[in-house]
Chain A
Amino acid sequence: MAEIVIRNLRKEFGTFTAVKESSFTIGNGEFFMLLGPSGCGKTTTLRMIAGLELPTSGEILIDGEDVSQKPASQRDIAMVFQMFALYPHMNVRKNISYPLVSQGVPRAQVQAKVAEVARILGIESILDKPVSGLSGGDRQRVALGRAIVRNPKAFMMDEPLGALDAEFREHMSEELRALHDRMGATTVYVTHDQLEAMQMGDKIVVMNHGVVEQFGTPQEIYDHPATLFVADFIGSPSMNFLRFQGSFRPGDRAVTLGGVTMETPELQAEAGARDLVLGVRPEHVTLVDSGAYRGRIIAAEYLGTTQIVTLDTSHGTIKARAPAGQVARVGETVGMTFRAPTLALFDAGSGRAFRTSANAGVHHG
């Protein structure tokens, strides 16, 4: 198993820059998520780590060794593709043993290893079947088997659950995570599904337009988004943004918007008068009559345990996650309070979060 270090990685396709100066470190044995919308450069980054694309510049270190210009076959990593890429002209057993055969492993050892992998994945009964007739889940298991049979330094997974239906995806993601915990293998996992990333990952890198927006644990990324993009991309419904004009100085513990003073974590930066964005997650908005900041209810969606109440305020619409039992009548004007320690303040121009006492330790991309 290995630690993977990415330093100033850059990839250009002609005039298009797919990945711009990305840097992050994937710890030994981590389940690492590359998250972002399609076209953000996450798959390109994965393919560069795997050796299927060569970077334009920058370094990729696997276990301290710079492999950035080496072919895939010399990197000792395994990959699971979105469409599985099982060799269609071979049966399950041959598919799984293929990576070992390429290394010239003796036949008896190959057989033993394939049997062991099949047992781990619970696919002993389909070993001699052709891959064409298999269900999505079994194909996925065979693809995993082909990856783990070789004990590689790291696993690359390119949206491995993307081709499965929703119900099965849930089951498979648990299986994957359990397999990872058991093997302790460094895993790099590409997904555009923020829920999947939060659910499975030890660490997440959020990418957008080829740039690393933020890098951290799921909690850090959810609680303290480094940019407006991350705040918007993670969470459902996503973070509310209240746009206002204002200024603050280090040590301030509140900002004023629309004449209402909002308590915030202690601000550590300075900003002259400019366009600012106050970010608050729906679950940190409480509807109370005493609240100084007011809005008119325009919709309420009942979700069982909670409800999502949409309010129209002087700074745009706000969604609040309220207990299902709370009465919220459309058309009524109510007050609300925000939980101060959870608030984030962004520069509307650059989209970056200002340093506060709350997000001080968070890695910004």
Chain B
Amino acid sequence: MSAYSITEPSRRAKLVAGVLVCLYAFITLLPLLWIISTGFKSGPDSISYPPKVIFEPSLEGYVNLFTTRTRIAPEALAELPPPETFYDKIVRERDMVIAGPSRFGERFMNSVIIGFGSTFLSIFLGTLAAYAFSRFKVPLKDDLLFFILSTRMMPPIAVAIPIFLMYRELGLSDTHLGMILLYTGVNISLAVWLLKGFIDEIPREYEEAALIDGYTRFQAFRKVVLPQAATGIASTAIFCLIFAWNEYAFAVLLTSGTAQTAPPFIPTIIGVGGQDWPAVAAGATIFLLPVMIFTILLRKHLLRGITFGAVRK
């Protein structure tokens, strides 16, 4: 007699579930795969119809992304010394020479500074505020918490024009500081609420034990509460970073040069020298990497973090 288990799914159920998950993953990942592969296509391959799934890989997109180029006459090209590097070679095949680096590097660094800067600030302030809300008697605590949450109730872009005017007056337009403050302002409510939940879950006895063991309140916070809240901090940081990293509307509105981030920059590639889809796809691919790496690094914490509190340990 074969034994049936009530709690274990049957082999058939597992098989069906497996197929469904794979199918879903494929559908979800397809656009991503398409972008990554487009980044390695040559210009003509990227717009060929029917679309090419198998193609000869080329780094042209990446070279175009990081450089500006000038077209010169074939006779002049022939007189030049032979190309020194692989990217010189790729460019010359298109009758062009490299005129200099593109702005992508700078814009990417802006994204890194603004994204990670605002994430750090949100987490720093959010953790302290959440700890205070969780542990101390704060006058009007509930009203304050609701007020903090209410800042998320309207889409931030609804106040775009007041913010635009305000930033112009304050000289914060197109500055790193301005963008960091803006993204921190949007993220802080999320950070306070998420982290308060995590800190509420940490039994007070841990800190009390530390207080009795001779530590000050701040030492107890740093040495006992923070390591316990690491999971919550990691998952909150990922949420904050994803928002700040991907934000487009405010970036378009408030930045144009010095502090322009990658999202508003990438589409501008289309306008320069024709619709260079491989370069756009290359930009998008590189743009994906930091959040992906950050999430993978914190993955262990994130998995525990998202289900935190669901099950009592």
Name A residues whose Cβ lies closer than 8 Å to a Cβ of B: 50-52, 71-73, 75, 77-79, 81-83, 85, 87-89, 98-99, 102-103, 146, 150, 156
Given contacts A50-B212, A72-B212, A103-B214, 17 further A-B contacts (CB under 8 A): A52-B211, A71-B216, A72-B211, A73-B211, A78-B212, A79-B209, A81-B205, A81-B208, A82-B205, A83-B203, A83-B205, A85-B205, A87-B209, A87-B224, A88-B206, A99-B213, A156-B212
Contact of A52 among B203, B208, B227 (CB under 8 A): B208
A150 to B219, CA, bound (A): 19
Let me know if B208 and A102 touch, CB within 8 A: no
Question: What is the distance, in angstroms, from A160's C-beta to the closest C-beta of chain B?
Answer: 12
A190 to B268, CA, bound (A): 71
Question: What is the distance, in angstroms, from B286's C-beta to the closest C-beta of chain A?
Answer: 36
Residues 50-92 of chain B, each 1 if its beta carbon lies under 8 Å from chain A, else 0: 0000000000000000000000000000000000000000000
Let me know if B228 and A89 touch, CB within 8 A: yes
Contacting residues, chain B, for A82 (C-beta < 8 A)? 205
| Total cross-chain contacts (CB, 8 A) | 58
Contacting residues, chain A, for B214 (C-beta < 8 A)? 73, 99, 102-103, 150
Residues of B209-223 at the interface with A, using a CB-CB cut-off of 8 Å, are 209-216, 219
Contact of B209 among A71, A75, A81, A150 (CB under 8 A): A81
Let me know if A71 and B213 touch, CB within 8 A: no
Contacting residues, chain B, for A78 (C-beta < 8 A)? 212-213
Contacting residues, chain B, for A89 (C-beta < 8 A)? 227-228
Contact of B212 among A73, A83, A103 (CB under 8 A): A73
A77 to B209, CA, bound (A): 11
Contacting residues, chain A, for B206 (C-beta < 8 A)? 85, 87-88
Instruction: List the 7 closest A-B pairs by CB distance, nearest first.
Output: A85-B205, A99-B213, A102-B214, A85-B209, A72-B211, A89-B227, A81-B205
Main secondary structure of the interface of A (DSSP, over half): loop
Contacting residues, chain B, for A150 (C-beta < 8 A)? 213-214
Contact of B213 among A52, A88, A146 (CB under 8 A): A146
Contacting residues, chain B, for A79 (C-beta < 8 A)? 208-209, 212
Q: Can you pick out 12 interface pairs between chain A and chain B where the beta carbons lie within 8 Å of each other?
A: A52-B211, A52-B212, A72-B212, A73-B214, A78-B212, A79-B208, A81-B205, A81-B208, A85-B203, A85-B209, A102-B213, A103-B214
Contacting residues, chain B, for A146 (C-beta < 8 A)? 209, 213
A269 to B45, CA, bound (A): 110
For residue B216, which residue of chain A has the nearest CB? Answer: A73
Question: What is the distance, in angstroms, from B88's C-beta to the closest C-beta of chain A?
Answer: 54
Question: What is the distance, in angstroms, from A28's C-beta to the closest C-beta of chain B?
Answer: 20
Contacting residues, chain B, for A85 (C-beta < 8 A)? 203, 205-206, 208-209
Contacting residues, chain A, for B210 (C-beta < 8 A)? 87, 98, 102
A251 to B210, CA, bound (A): 58
Contacting residues, chain B, for A99 (C-beta < 8 A)? 213-214
A102 to B209, CA, bound (A): 12
